[in-house]
Amino acid sequence: MKAIKLHSGSNKGRVANPEIDRVDRAILRLLQRDASISNVALAGKVNLSAPACLRRVDRLKEMGLIRGTVALLDAKALDLGMLVMIGVVLDRSTPESFAEFEKAAQKVSGCMECHVVTGEFDYFMLLRTKDGDSFSRLHAEQLLYLPGVRQIRSFMVIKEILSTTSIPI
């Protein structure tokens, strides 16, 4: 079965049901752990020549399986140790109200993630801030002014048990 390329909107360059083998999976696992690994070292770990490994990594990028390479920062060392989860309920469920909220949510200081969800809330947001006082200011200055919001519930994280960027493959 051959993979089919999608050519619409934000899926440009991505492959529907990508066909990857065990070597591709090993490359992806290793890059998730340390994207700064040299191509030569990566090739050695997956038993490929450096050029063959580089071709595979380039192909995985073209397939859209590797979206980018980032540095993971230490939030506490940067004085952003407070993690807050926020449940948001909108006052209306219209495409316009969702679009307006989503545009505004992207501008909230310290917002790391925003997801449409099912259940009691319409959205969950994940924010990083310095401490309770800085969150109170953020709440008063930005969150209360998000468009179309009927209710906001904040959940301060007491202890992070697991936080990862690794997708299980």
Delineate the domains of the chain, giving CATH numbers in brackets. Answer: 4-62 (1.10.10.10), 82-156 (3.30.70.920)
- β-strand partners of 128: 83
Q: Are 27 and 21 in contact (CB under 8 A)?
A: no
**pLDDT band with cut points at 50, 70 and 90 for residue 19:** confident
Q: Exposed, middle or buried: residue 74 (CB in 10 Å: 0-12, 13-18, 19+)?
A: exposed
- Average the pLDDT over 37-64 and give the result: 97
**What's the rounded mean pLDDT across residues 8-24?**
67
Q: What is the pLDDT of residue 9?
A: 39
Which helix (H) or strand (E) segment holds residue 116: the answer is strand 111-116
Mean of pLDDT values over 118-125 = 97
What is the rounded average pLDDT of the residues 125-154? 97
| pLDDT over threshold 80, residue 113 | yes
Residue 6, pLDDT > 80, answer no
C-alpha to C-alpha distance for 105 and 129, rounded to whole angstroms: 15
Contacts of 163 (CB under 8 A, 6+ apart): none
